[in-house]
Amino acid sequence: MNIKKMLCPVCMKKLVVRQLLPLETLDEHVSDPNRIPCNKPALQCPDGKCPSRLIGCIWDNIEGGLFYIGKYPDKKEKDLVPFIDGIDSPFGSFDRSWQAEKKAENKANKHIFTFPKWFPGILSKMEVHTNWRYTANYDGKITSRKFRLSWIKIEKGFRTYHIWGMRMLIYSLKGLFKAWWSIKKNPNDGWAYKSINDDINIIKLENPEWWRIVSAKVAIVLLKTLPLQTNLLTVKKENGKVLV
């Protein structure tokens, strides 16, 4: 059995396998909540005096260091477990990386501005939030971060994240050029042809967004530079409108 090296998030001693236990993962619970989970290596701190042993802390070795508690502690007992950096996942685990990223993001991201109700168009009552995205290694150390703004509308109690058309256009064009380049390397790539044609067909929707129209026009230009496939419809124009 291949046991990953993980360190206790309290005293940093190497965790050891005590026994195999039916530790249920989120995937197992979602797929079949009534199924008995399969046995997994249960990791525990080898130091009997470590505060993590007070409430029976164990971690699995299969799902990246998920944390389990042997018993439900009261607040006083839980406060006696000084997890390093406030993260209960072991050093050297995916879960510690994930928790460190989320903890940093929750601390950094803030609501910075709300447009007034009388502001015209989509910006009326739009909230602007910072949206930092952090990357951490398996020891929970932040290695990089990216910044962008989140634009949020709250209507009838529901929060909706607004994505600007320019961002969607860039995303769409990246896919188009990727498909175009794929056909250049492999003229028989039918899926890439279909992807380009789909971008053209999308403007048949009623009142398509402006970025879809721009993307469709670029797709038409790219398609004309490629050898047409006999099993795909060609681009035509009728009364000034594009037909596929």
Q: Residue 239: left (phi > 0), alpha (psi -120 to 50), or beta? A: left
DSSP string, 51-92: GGGTTTEEEETTTTS-EEESS---HHHHHT---GGG--SPBT
Q: What is the pLDDT along the chain (244 residues), one digit of tens a residue?
A: 445 688 999 999 999 887 777 676 666 667 777 777 677 778 889 998 888 887 788 888 765 777 776 555 555 565 678 899 989 889 999 899 999 999 999 999 999 999 998 888 888 889 999 999 999 999 999 999 999 999 988 877 788 888 888 889 999 999 999 999 998 888 888 888 888 888 888 877 778 888 888 999 999 888 888 876 544 444 444 444 444 4
The predicted pLDDT at position 199 comes to 87
Cα gap 218→204, rounded to integer Å: 15
The predicted pLDDT at position 78 comes to 59
Query: Within the chain, what is the greatest distance between any pair of CA atoms?
Result: 83
The predicted pLDDT at position 14 comes to 92
Cβ atoms of residues 184 and 178 within 8 Å: no
Q: Coil, strand, or helix at residue 114?
A: strand
- Residue 166, amino acid: M
Bridge partners, residue 238, by sequence: 241
pTM (2 decimals)?
0.68
The predicted pLDDT at position 129 comes to 93
